[in-house]
Amino acid sequence: MEKQRAQWGSKLGFILAAAGSAVGLGNIWKFPGKAFEGGGGAFLLLYLIIVPLIGMPAMLSELTIGRASQSNVVDAFGKLGHKKYTWVGWLSWLVAFLITCYYSHVGGWVLRYAVSYATQSRAVYADPLGYFYALLGFDPVSGATWLPVTALAFAAVFLAICAFIIIQGVQGGIEKFNKIGMPALFVMLLILLVRSVTLPGGMEGVRYMLSLDFSKLSFHTLLTALSQAFYSLSLGMAIMVTYGSYLPETEDMPKNTLLICVMDTLVAVIAGFIVVPAVFATLGPDGVGKGGGFAFVSLAGVFERMPGGVLFGMMFYLLLLFAALTSTISLIEGIVAFLTERLNWSRTPTTIGLCAVLFLIGCLYTCSQAAFPLHGVWFDFANGVTFPGFGDAMEFLTDRVMIPIAALGTCIFVGWSWTPEKAAEEIHRGGVRFGLLKLYSFLVRFVLPAAIAVIFAVSLFTGTTLS
Ligand code: PFF
């Protein structure tokens, strides 16, 4: 007899869990820097157009595939009668696997910093770059390197927390954690927002974020915004298919999609209004950056100059920690769902074993940052064959190649094989009304594939990561 599939306990639980997946490091440390580079308000406006036109139809498609197939991502396409798309499922599954290897380690570094601000903020302030490098096993002064034990230990703790929550199940673990974690995240976000905009000079940053300077917008900005939307909404990575498969028939998926996208975008925009004004007020506009280096190194200067900086610094990393936890949990669930359903493995040992493997592969990622000269191989048309750090190569592979192909495969599947009409049948089940079928169909068939193909081509030809 087939095992009963897990289901969400409540609508709110599902929405918070899906929003928890979407709201991640990308929202908090990538979006503000991109918005700054893209001219502030002009970028925000562009992003607010892209999310409903590109992000929402893509998310609705993934949720619908999940609910219609009632299956993990690898088997979903076959269950809908299109076995030849199973490769898309495998690819999405593999992306989730690879991303989790490093996302979880970065989550460990975030955890380390939350603790660092609580216990040794002076050491962080005294030499932000040195502190970060030391965590990664490198002394830039003497050139000495060592096994980054602290970073690895924190990554292990981070993964253990994720495993613990996942083992409790979809309702008892993931849903419950998100029901506490997401409101906590919003509260921290609002406190940090108030702190940031009330700093002397903070209003300059607010003004910048509201200014409509379209001269900074370019084709490249458009592509960056597009990839940001995909990454931020957790698309192309098995997650929304898996989370959709735990939805009951009566759920209104278009409405849920709207809510999840609104929450994700709201968090990104608020993060923009936290980070940019805070940096304007302390380091000046030139200090705004993005990514890990910015979050771990530059921001120390911001918190040091801010009244109550230690407390707000701690809260900021705690915010990042919650964002990273809820996202990592969704990724691991996507991987576990397949292993337990297809191979009939039981949930607890599968989760523990998987987390151990993720941890070990992730060790190579962490070690390749500064401690050891571990390299990968890469090819793009701009630079030919190169040998970037192992960690960078891993990120290039997922962000530049695998996510776009998986996302492209998914929308071609819905647009041209399964058809938007079949998707609509699923959406309508339980009496749900969906008046935008024509628009949805047009977007999924033409606009999405074109947009994703361009992102893919540009990253391959120019050798840049857009997300
Ligand atoms: N959406 C997350 C972020 O913005 O950081 C990252 C992510 C999480 C991507 C989970 C994909 C995923 F499945």
Instruction: Give the Cα separation of 31 and 271 in Å (integer).
Output: 8
Homologous superfamily of 11-372:
Hydantoin permease (1.10.4160.10)
Answer for the pair 115, 340: CB distance below 8 angstroms, yes or no.
Answer: no
For residue range 315-330, list pLDDT tens digits in order. Answer: 999 999 999 999 999 9
Instruction: Give the Cα separation of 412 and 419 in Å (integer).
Output: 9
144 Cα to the center of ligand 1, angstroms: 34
Predicted local distance difference test score (pLDDT) of residue 414: 97
465: confidence class by pLDDT, cuts 50, 70, 90:
confident
3: confidence class by pLDDT, cuts 50, 70, 90:
low
pLDDT exceeds 70 at position 42: yes
pLDDT exceeds 50 at position 252: yes
Closest Cα to atom 11, ligand 1: which residue?
234
Name which of 418, 411, 446 is nearest 59 in CA terms: 411
Mean pLDDT computed over 393-410: 93
For residue range 162-171, list pLDDT tens digits in order. Answer: 999 999 999 9
pLDDT exceeds 70 at position 2: no
Instruction: Give the Cα separation of 141 and 132 in Å (integer).
Output: 13
The whole-model pTM stands at 0.94
Closest Cα to atom 9, ligand 1: which residue?
234
326 Cα to the center of ligand 1, angstroms: 9
Q: Does residue 212 sit in helix, strand or coil?
A: strand
121: confidence class by pLDDT, cuts 50, 70, 90:
very high
Output the ligand 1 site: residues, CB below 6 A.
Answer: 21-22, 24-27, 96, 231-232, 234, 237, 239, 327, 330-331
216: confidence class by pLDDT, cuts 50, 70, 90:
confident
463: confidence class by pLDDT, cuts 50, 70, 90:
confident
Predicted local distance difference test score (pLDDT) of residue 5: 85
H or E stretch covering 276? helix 253-282
For residue range 270-309, list pLDDT tens digits in order. Answer: 999 999 999 999 999 999 999 888 999 999 999 999 999 9
Answer for the pair 328, 181: CB distance below 8 angstroms, yes or no.
Answer: no
For residue range 127-139, list pLDDT tens digits in order. Answer: 999 999 999 999 9
419 Cα to the center of ligand 1, angstroms: 27
Q: What is the mean pLDDT of the chain?
A: 94
Ligand 1 pocket mutation pick from 21, 62, 410 by most atoms within 8 angstroms of CB: 21
The pair of three-digit structure tokens given for residue 177, joined into one six-digit string: 């954690």
Instruction: Give the Cα separation of 300 and 91 in Å (integer).
Output: 38
Name which of 269, 321, 265, 255 is nearest 118 in CA terms: 321
What ranges do the domains of the chain cover? 11-372
Predicted local distance difference test score (pLDDT) of residue 122: 94
pLDDT exceeds 70 at position 1: no
pLDDT exceeds 50 at position 385: yes
- Report the Cα 329 to chain-centroid distance in Å: 11
Ligand 1 pocket mutation pick from 178, 228, 232, 240 by most atoms within 8 angstroms of CB: 232
Closest Cα to atom 8, ligand 1: which residue?
327
pLDDT exceeds 50 at position 158: yes
